[in-house]
Structure formats: C-alpha cells, structure tokens
Chains A and B, each alone.
Chain A
C-alpha cells in the first residue's frame, strides 16, 4: 500500500516562494502513475494544481501554470512543488496524491501552508 507524506514550511511571506515535497513509500515514483498536487482553501474548495510523471512530463492547471513548477527525484523517491509569487489566495491545505488518468486514488494527509507576513 503506497503512502505519501507532504513536508515543507507552514508559513510563507507574500511574494515569496512556496516549496513542498511529497515523500513516497511502499511504491516507486518511477512507476506508471502520475504524481499530483491538489490544494484546498475555504474560499475555493478543491483545486487541482497539476501532475508530473517520472519521465519529466507535466500537466498544470492553466490558472496556475505561470507560477508552478513540479519535479521528481527518483533517487529520493519523492516529488516536489514550487509556487512562486504567492499571495494570501495561495493559503490552503496542500495534498499530494498518486494519480492515474487524472483519478487520485491515494493521498497524503495534507499540509497547511499560510501566506502571511
């Protein structure tokens, strides 16, 4: 049974950069799956941020594409999310998930990121 765990700073300053990592255990990031980020804020509900495959292929939400970068580290069996130029609107619980054909079947517990000075 694959397990995912998000980690990263819980507080980011406005205009700064949000950086999160998702550690994968019980499975390999080099498998057929797509590794996904979803966030949830009170005002906007669940929002798909994007996904990455171990080949390096990515798909991003068009509304965030200019500020988002995802990467995979096969040696550490984890994948990462970077969001630049953050504002209060980026305050949310961020989830990583394992996906297949845009279905998210396994999720991490989530991590709260607050954007505030």
Chain B
C-alpha cells in the first residue's frame, strides 16, 4: 500500500502570508495527487486534482505542484476563511490520504 506523509502537522500563519504544505508518497504516483480542505464538522472539499489542476470554484490563491513522490499545496495569500485542515490523497491506485495539516490563523 502507498503511504502518504504530510508536513507540518500544524502551522500557524498570519493573514496575507504565503503558506506551503508538503505531501510525500512512499512510491512514485506520477501526478495522481489531490488536495482537500476540511473545516470542523464538515465534509472534505476537493481543491486540487492531478497535482496542479484547480477545481472549479476554488480561489486562485490555492495552487499545487509536484510529481513523483513530492508535492506541495501553496496558499499565496492566507485568508481568514482558509483556517482548516488540508489533506492530500493519492489516486494512483487504491486511494489513501495523508494525516492532515491543520492551518491556523495567528
């Protein structure tokens, strides 16, 4: 099974900051990686697909990059509404999620 590892587990940043979250796969998954945002008590929401594709309706401050085993999610200018937990998910084969990164606003 492919293991997904995110870092950091938690980060605290100010409004307007550039934020980067890293996700590593235990084997090559090409670009078959998605990012989700989850707010407390809510279901996850798809942000990014195929490593860098922006899902319809998602603000352009969100971007994804990477391929192979290392990927990043970047929020170019952190907004108060971005306070949430972010998960990566590989879909190269049987889907698996990272453990999540909680983003807090200072």
Instruction: Mark A residues whose CB is within 8 Å of B.
Output: 45-48, 59, 61-63, 95, 97, 101-105, 107-110
How far does the alpha carbon of A86 sit from the alpha carbon of B44 in the complex, in Å?
25
**Chain B residue contacts of A102, Cβ below 8 A:** 91, 95
Known A45-B100, A47-B97; judge A103-B43 contact (CB<8 A): no
Instruction: Mark B residues whose CB is within 8 Å of A.
Output: 1, 34, 36, 42-46, 49, 55, 87, 89, 91, 94-100
Q: Are B97 and A105 in contact (CB under 8 A)?
A: no
**Chain B residue contacts of A95, Cβ below 8 A:** 43-44
Known A46-B44, A109-B43; judge A101-B91 contact (CB<8 A): yes
Q: Are A103 and B34 in contact (CB under 8 A)?
A: yes
**Chain B residue contacts of A103, Cβ below 8 A:** 34, 46, 49, 91
CB < 8 Å: which of A48, A105, A109 contacts B96?
A48
Q: Considering the complex, give the chain B residue whose CB is closest to the CB of A97.
A: B43
Q: Are B43 and A48 in contact (CB under 8 A)?
A: no
